[in-house]
């Protein structure tokens, strides 16, 4: 049997660190400053570490899947918090049915694909 893991977090790239911090804060993630050009984000016990580091090919192939209770609510929420255009090149696709799940795709300011699944 493998030893247990107490914590698990990924390092997410940021093309413009300040814009990405504002984006994830606007989505509702609580932010705490990290060290060495990082910031931690948490929502309902789920966390990731944003880093002030960017490689286009890496960012545009980085994906985060989040299980949610209400994809439509997330769709409306993301549209609302990004409506002013303060976060640059955000892309929000309409929710769609994929293999029996309702799925929302959002591309963050750095090109990272966020996948919300209900």
CATH number at residue 19: 3.10.180.10
What's residue 116's pLDDT? 98
Question: Does 62 map to a domain?
Answer: yes
**Can you give the pLDDT at residue 88?**
86
The neighbouring-strand residues paired with 21 are none
**Per the domain annotation, does 102 fall within a domain?**
yes
State the DSSP code for 53: -
Residue 111 lies in a domain: yes
> For the whole model, what pTM was predicted?
0.94
User: Can you give the pLDDT at residue 94?
Assistant: 98
Is 117 a residue whose pLDDT tops 90?
yes
CB 117 within 8 A of CB 65: yes
Tokens of 33: 């400053």
Nearest Cα residue to 87 out of 10, 15, 3, 9: 15
Q: How many domains does the chain have?
A: 1
Domain membership of residue 63 as a residue range: 11-117
> Residue 105 forms beta bridges with which residues?
115
Q: Is 83 inside a domain boundary?
A: yes
Name the pLDDT band for 106 (thresholds 50, 70, 90).
Answer: very high
Query: Under a CB-based contact definition with an 8 Å cutoff, are residues 67 and 117 in contact?
Result: yes
Residue 17 lies in a domain: yes
108 occurs within a structural domain: yes
Residue 98 DSSP class:
E
Q: Is residue 113 part of a domain?
A: yes
pLDDT band at 71 (very low <50, low <70, confident <90, very high): very high
* 91 domain-assigned: yes
pLDDT, tens only, 23-64? 999 999 999 999 899 999 999 999 999 999 999 999 999 999
């Amino acid at each position: 049997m493998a030893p247990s893991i107490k914590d698990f977090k990924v390092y997410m790239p940021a093309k413009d660190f300040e814009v990405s911090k504002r984006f994830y804060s606007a989505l509702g993630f609580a932010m705490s400053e990290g060290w060495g050009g990082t910031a931690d984000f948490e929502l309902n016990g789920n966390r990731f570490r944003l880093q002030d580091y960017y490689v286009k090919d890496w960012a545009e192939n980085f994906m985060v899947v989040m299980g949610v209770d209400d994809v439509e609510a997330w769709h409306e929420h993301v549209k609302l918090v990004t409506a002013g255009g303060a976060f640059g090149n955000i892309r929000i696709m309409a929710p769609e049915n994929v293999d029996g799940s309702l799925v929302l795709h959002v591309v963050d300011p750095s090109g990272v694909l966020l996948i919300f699944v209900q």
